Copies of this chain bind each other. A is one copy, B any other.
């Protein structure tokens, strides 16, 4: 049960996730895009997989990885408590957050 923050503390892992944000990628693809050794990529992927940040599917000899957003959503949720420090000035964002704010509590239409 590592914290998601601990996983994201590693720069190479963040790079991998950023890559996967735009598209699915095979290991070799990440290897050359990020210019890092394959074993390093594989190990980071292992950590990301074990913690639910990515999922893989087998395609011949390749493993194609795709992003799983759930852990990142948790990080986003943790940040919630601090948003009031900067969101006051950004009305559009505030409205967006307000809407996310109603998790089935039944108060859908504020204002």
Helix, strand, loop or mixed for chain A's interface? helix
Confirm or deny: A76 has a beta carbon within 8 angstroms of a beta carbon on chain B: yes
Interface string of A1-29 (1 = CB under 8 A from B): 00101101101001001100100000000
Number of copies of this kind of chain in the complex: 2
Residue of chain B at shortest CB distance from A103: B93
Q: Across the interface, which residues of B come within 8 angstroms of A85, CB to CB?
A: 21, 67, 69, 72
Q: Across the interface, which residues of B come within 8 angstroms of A76, CB to CB?
A: 76, 79, 83
Residue of chain B at shortest CB distance from A99: B94
Question: Lowest 10 CB-CB distances: which A-B pairs, in order?
Answer: A69-B85, A9-B9, A97-B108, A6-B9, A5-B8, A21-B81, A5-B9, A72-B82, A69-B86, A101-B109
Tell me whether A90 and B86 are in contact (CB under 8 A).
no
Q: Can you sample 27 A-B contacts with CB below 8 Å?
A: A3-B14, A5-B9, A5-B14, A6-B9, A8-B9, A14-B78, A18-B81, A21-B81, A21-B85, A67-B82, A69-B85, A69-B86, A72-B79, A72-B82, A73-B86, A75-B75, A76-B76, A76-B83, A79-B79, A90-B100, A94-B99, A97-B102, A97-B108, A100-B108, A101-B108, A101-B109, A109-B109
